Amino acid sequence: MATPHLINILRSVRHELQSFSLGFENCIVKLLAQISTPILFGIILDNQCLFWSQSTFHHRASCFIYNGDKLPMRLFATTIIIKLISFIFILILFLIKFRERKNC
């Protein structure tokens, strides 16, 4: 977990809820990021395969040749999109907290 991210979480909640918020955030990260991200990148890799090997049961076994032109760009674009979504949520949190402090 990155330090600015941790500081944002701790500054966004009341002191008595900080440990709960860290546990909740860890649970959300496990559910949304560590489970779904390998699936997402696996789908991207599977879609960029040009030639699949055939197993003995006529199922796709493994990829022999990937599309070397599009694969790096698709992986990079997916990473950037995920980072932008994360940044937007942090920015929204910052704006909400800034308005709360301004109204106090």
Region of 41 please: left (phi>0), alpha (psi -120 to 50) or beta.
alpha
- Assigned domain for 102 exists: yes
Domain of residue 76 covers: 69-104
**Cα atoms in the 13 Å half-sphere on the side-chain side of 64:** 6
Residue at 92 is within a domain = yes
Residue with the larger pLDDT of the pair 87 and 100: 87
Residue 23 lies in a domain: no
Joined together, the tokens standing for residue 47 give 């879609």
- Whole-prediction pTM: 0.69
pLDDT bucket at 16, cuts 50 / 70 / 90? very high
| Domain count of the fold of the chain | 1
Asked if the structure places residue 5 within a domain, the reply is: no
82 located within any domain: yes
Residue 54 covered by a domain:
no
pLDDT in tens, 51-80: 888 776 767 678 889 999 999 999 999 999
Confidence of residue 2 (pLDDT cuts 50, 70, 90): low
Residue 33 in any domain: the answer is no
Q: What is the pLDDT of residue 74?
A: 94
* 81 part of a folded domain: yes
- Compute the mean pLDDT over every residue in the chain, rounded to the nearest whole number: 86
Phi-psi region of 58 (alpha: psi -120 to 50; beta: other; left: phi over 0): left
Cβ-proximal residues to 46 (8 Å cutoff; 6+ apart), any chain: 63
